[in-house]
Amino acid sequence: MTINININKDHCTIKIDGDLTIFQISEYHQQLVDKCQSVMSATVELSDNTELDTAGIQLLISLQQQFQSAGGDLTVRTTGEPSTKVIDLFNLSSQFNSAEKGELI
């Protein structure tokens, strides 16, 4: 499980490999707050995500609210089956401006 955060001007790209579950949330949340607080928008890449639970969904919603309150936005890319299934299960594709295979849905 790894998280890679790259910042390019006002955009943050977050790539999460492995699980995004209750066991990783506090560590990931703190890293994201520390590194992405000065940007206006972000893309979360979940293509190599192996598991996503409701805590992971809550983290994504929290990030989205944080960016929207600053006038920005959050896009979630879900090419991996585990994350796509969970996001679809909760009917959140449109809320996250979800993208599959690099294209907006």
The predicted structure's pLDDT at residue 14: 94
The predicted structure's pLDDT at residue 99: 57
Q: Residue 23 in 3-state DSSP?
A: coil
Using the predicted structure, report yes or no on whether residue 102 has a pLDDT greater than 60: no
Please state the rounded mean pLDDT for residues 5-18: 93
pTM reported for the whole predicted model: 0.86
The predicted structure's pLDDT at residue 100: 54
Tens-place pLDDT, residues 52-101: 999 999 999 999 998 899 899 899 988 778 888 898 898 888 887 765 54
**CA angle, 15 then 33 then 61, to 5°:** 70
- Domains in the chain (CATH in brackets) are 2-104 (3.30.750.24)
